[in-house]
Chains A and B, each alone.
Chain A
Amino acid sequence: MSTQISTGSFRATDKTAGAEDVGNIGEGLWSDVWRRFRHNPIALAGFYVVCLLVFMALFADFIANDKPYYLHYQGQSYFPIVRGYLVGTKLGHWPAELLNVDFKKLEGAKAFYPPIPYRPSNINLLEPLESPSSRHWFGTDKLGRDVAAGMIHGSRISLSIGFVAVGIAALIGIILGAVAGYFGSWTDLTISRLFEIMLSIPTFFLLITIAALLPPSIFLTMAIIGVTSWVGMARFTRNEFLRIRNLDYVTAAVALGVSDRKVMFKHILPNALAPVIVSVVFGVGGAILVESSLSFLGIGVPAELVTWGSILQEGSTTTFAWWLAVFPGFAIFITVLAYYLVGEGLREVLDPRLRGLR
């Protein structure tokens, strides 16, 4: 993406930058941003936490699974987790002796399990509401499901909620903001009414209304969060477009007969993107917060799906089971904080007015 933008235009407005902050000639914006970002330890810590979460979400099956990595049974060696994927994609099948078996009850088998040998769907009514122990690191819930396993797999939901919801919001926000800012006058006035409507509507109430009326589905929830949270990005985009629209290079492009769409998205957008990206990163954190509130209220996500918010909800009703409140809530907190720290770090390196202040 737009790596060709020179830092020159940014540096022109930057009076306070020290000599060490001046980028190399010809260095792209994004490598410059990364170079500055790296020097902010707090933001970098946030970035690493996000990376860790992505890793956790991608490899959830290898961290918490009721199948072993490796199984030696009746003289044969198996890799059940990997095979599980093959079966899931119809590329493989379970051998007859392993079809629908509980791996932990196989006699005479040698098995090597993931650190958390449960899946969030493993109901064990013999161990309800157990406090944390070496068997269940974060305890179990009412149905005896392992909380740690639920949290590992729950990271997938919170991660995808963040990205999909904000993706939708960014798409709507950037297009509306760009149109409003670029065309100005009546178009701007009309679209600004739309902003005002969205700002006056109590978004969370709108959200629970829509989510409660539609059938519970994680994808619908993502879409609804996206559709109700684009206003911030739209306003940022609009303001940037209003500013950039009057710059000489845009006038030149228009004079050359470049089409409106091309001017908007090829010439203006790359320069308007910086503040928008910051609000996108903050938006991911916000969307995760909203989703946790929704699944806490039991709205929008199917009842059998274990999410951080749904574990937390159980914690609020079974008040002696403190582990149901502490761990999932802390996970949401750390995730949101990580996104906010990355967002703040990006804002500091992307906002020309702030450059060099710290």
Chain B
Amino acid sequence: MISYLAQRLLLMIPTFIGITLIGFLIMRLAPGDPAELRAAGGLGAAAGAGISLAKRGAVDEAMAQWRAQYGLDKPLHVQYLVWLENLFTLKFGDSFKDSQPVWGKLTERLPVTIKLNLWSILIVYLVAIPLGIYSATHANSLGDQITTVLAFGLFAVPLVWAATMAIVFICGGDFYYLFPPGGIESLDFSNQWPLWKKIQDHAWHLFLPVVLLSYSGFAALSRYMRSSVLEVLGQDYVQVARAKGLQEKIVIFKHVLRNSLIPQITLLADLLPALIGGSVIIETIFSIPGLGQLGFESVLARDYPTVLALFTVTAVLTLIGILLSDLLLAVVDPRIAFGRRQQ
């Protein structure tokens, strides 16, 4: 187990360097100079071209000064090493957009995104696992076929469409006002409210974003769960359990479930990046002040330090997620740490 852990950790080093290098190079080599953008007013990617030649002379000096301040005048590899060093000390520098520390911006918005994603992951697993078990134990029945079709249909529903339909039809447009069109709490939200009212208000605001973030996840996961349960059901030890007269319930929930849950653990690692991508869309549409919205706004404003910090933080979090799910897998299934990977 220890040697497996050491091996996994060692292999993560090149991966980590690769991630940071990719992020750094993309941001630095991209056309469009953040100094120029800042000089032109800084907001909006399209604003960059709008500076007249006459004004340039005066602006150039300020820009050079500003480049020096942020270290943009040094060679690329020096910039990378400096940035990497700062990364380990969690110094992400100041935002180009409003000169606020990036780390502060991240920590301010992180809780919202984590809340959104944790609820989504919870719902994904809570829906997908029972659905998968049902589908597998009733394989090829009418119920199974209906869930198959539904899962496939849901998986193909574009997130942007689902969100737009929700905004248009049930978020107070010309049709129904069942859910708020944005934000995470009501405008008149106050800490004096009784607890249940606070919870109610949060739930009301988070319901749609969470459902929208999770539906494609549980559609996909329920299919994986189905095939995983089916595979375990076909194994000999299940037949033994049945043959010795165990109730079907016990066979399924005690013998089959455990082994069929194992592959679902690894899927968590695949789910995370998808959720982060979904957060960008959902937080932008529902104006939720989380990391996704911050990312989208920073990308448009070419706020390099913020984008780079976000990129790295999410990638490293995902990497840790992959590592954890690998370790969890090794804990529940000792064969893995023992005999390397399958194949």
Is there contact, CB below 8 Å, between A202 and B285? no
Is A50 on the interface with B (CB-CB < 8 A)? no
**A197-B15, A293-B281, A325-B168 are known contacts. Are A312 and B160 too (CB-CB below 8 A)?**
yes
Partner of B19, one of A201, A239, A309: A201
**A296-B281, A297-B284, A333-B161 are known contacts. Are A197 and B18 too (CB-CB below 8 A)?**
yes
Is there contact, CB below 8 Å, between A315 and B168? yes
Residues from chain A with a CB closer than 8 A to the CB of B57 are none
Q: Complex Cα distance A297/B299, Å?
A: 12
Is there contact, CB below 8 Å, between A325 and B152? no
Size of the chain B interface, CB-CB below 8 angstroms: 61
Residues from chain A with a CB closer than 8 A to the CB of B295 are 205, 208
Q: Which of A72-80, A163-171, A335-343 contacts B (4 or more CB under 8 A)?
A: A335-343
Is there contact, CB below 8 Å, between B299 and A209? yes
* Chain A contacts with B in 196-228, Cβ cutoff 8 A: 196-197, 199-206, 208-210, 212-215
Q: Complex Cα distance A309/B277, Å?
A: 16
Can you pick out 7 interface pairs between chain A and chain B where the beta carbons lie within 8 Å of each other?
A: A196-B322, A205-B277, A206-B26, A209-B311, A289-B158, A292-B160, A319-B174
Residues from chain B with a CB closer than 8 A to the CB of A112 are none
Partner of B152, one of A197, A296, A297, A341: A341
Is there contact, CB below 8 Å, between B156 and A337? yes
Is there contact, CB below 8 Å, between B155 and A196? no
Is B314 on the interface with A (CB-CB < 8 A)? yes
Is there contact, CB below 8 Å, between B30 and A213? yes
Is B130 on the interface with A (CB-CB < 8 A)? no
Q: Which of B87-95, B104-112, B268-276 contacts A (4 or more CB under 8 A)?
A: B268-276
Q: Complex Cα distance A152/B296, Å?
A: 30
How does the 8 Å CB contact mask read for B296-317 relative to A, with 1 for contact and 0 for none?
Answer: 1001101000010011001110
Is A90 on the interface with B (CB-CB < 8 A)? no
* Chain B contacts with A in 8-65, Cβ cutoff 8 A: 11, 14-15, 18-19, 22-23, 26-27, 30-32, 45
Q: Complex Cα distance A153/B319, Å?
A: 41
**A199-B269, A312-B161 are known contacts. Are A340 and B155 too (CB-CB below 8 A)?**
yes
Q: Complex Cα distance A293/B212, Å?
A: 14
Is there contact, CB below 8 Å, between A337 and B164? no
Q: Complex Cα distance A329/B165, Å?
A: 9
Is A242 on the interface with B (CB-CB < 8 A)? yes
Name the distance in Å between B231's Cβ and chain A's nearest Cβ: 9
Is B343 on the interface with A (CB-CB < 8 A)? yes
Q: Complex Cα distance A200/B152, Å?
A: 26
Q: Complex Cα distance A116/B165, Å?
A: 25
**A210-B26, A297-B296 are known contacts. Are A202 and B315 too (CB-CB below 8 A)?**
yes
Q: Complex Cα distance A325/B170, Å?
A: 13
Name the distance in Å between B83's Cβ and chain A's nearest Cβ: 16
Is A326 on the interface with B (CB-CB < 8 A)? yes
* Chain A contacts with B in 264-308, Cβ cutoff 8 A: 285, 289, 292-293, 296-297, 299
Secondary structure of the A contact surface, majority rule: helix
**A203-B277, A322-B168, A333-B156 are known contacts. Are A209 and B19 too (CB-CB below 8 A)?**
no
Is there contact, CB below 8 Å, between A201 and B152? no
Residues from chain A with a CB closer than 8 A to the CB of B169 are 322
Interface residues of A (CB under 8 A from B): 189, 193-194, 196-197, 199-206, 208-210, 212-215, 239, 242-243, 285, 289, 292-293, 296-297, 299, 309, 312-313, 315-316, 319-320, 322, 325-326, 328-330, 332-333, 336-337, 340-341, 344, 358
Is there contact, CB below 8 Å, between A204 and B277? yes
Partner of B158, one of A196, A210, A293: A293
Is there contact, CB below 8 Å, between A333 and B15? no
Q: Complex Cα distance A304/B307, Å?
A: 27
Partner of B164, one of A213, A285, A312: A312
Is there contact, CB below 8 Å, between A214 and B31? yes
Is B137 on the interface with A (CB-CB < 8 A)? no
Residues from chain A with a CB closer than 8 A to the CB of B11 are 189, 193, 196
Residues from chain B with a CB closer than 8 A to the CB of A204 are 273-274, 276-278, 280
Is there contact, CB below 8 Å, between A212 and B300? yes
Residues from chain A with a CB closer than 8 A to the CB of B263 are none
Q: Complex Cα distance A336/B161, Å?
A: 12
Name the distance in Å between B168's Cβ and chain A's nearest Cβ: 5
Is B186 on the interface with A (CB-CB < 8 A)? no
Is B140 on the interface with A (CB-CB < 8 A)? yes
* Chain B contacts with A in 146-166, Cβ cutoff 8 A: 152-153, 155-165
Is there contact, CB below 8 Å, between B140 and A358? yes
In addition to A201-B311, A322-B175, 13 A-B residue pairs with Cβ atoms within 8 Å of each other are A193-B18, A201-B273, A202-B276, A202-B315, A204-B274, A204-B280, A209-B307, A209-B311, A313-B160, A320-B174, A329-B162, A333-B156, A333-B157
Partner of B165, one of A197, A212, A326, A358: A326
Is there contact, CB below 8 Å, between A199 and B273? yes
* Chain B contacts with A in 230-267, Cβ cutoff 8 A: none
Name the distance in Å between B18's Cβ and chain A's nearest Cβ: 4
Is there contact, CB below 8 Å, between B299 and A208? yes
Residues from chain A with a CB closer than 8 A to the CB of B160 are 292-293, 296, 309, 312-313, 316, 329
Residues from chain A with a CB closer than 8 A to the CB of B269 are 199
Residue of A194, A209, A242, A333 with most partner-chain B CB within 10 A: A209
Q: Complex Cα distance A309/B19, Å?
A: 30
Residues from chain A with a CB closer than 8 A to the CB of B302 are 212-213
Residue of B27, B152, B171 with most partner-chain A CB within 10 A: B152
Residues from chain A with a CB closer than 8 A to the CB of B274 are 204
Is there contact, CB below 8 Å, between A316 and B343? no
Is B173 on the interface with A (CB-CB < 8 A)? yes
Residues from chain B with a CB closer than 8 A to the CB of A336 are 156, 158
Is B318 on the interface with A (CB-CB < 8 A)? yes
**Across the two chains, which residue of chain B brings its CB closest to A212?**
B299
Residues from chain B with a CB closer than 8 A to the CB of A215 are 31
Is there contact, CB below 8 Å, between B174 and A200? no
Name the distance in Å between B335's Cβ and chain A's nearest Cβ: 18
Q: Complex Cα distance A193/B140, Å?
A: 40
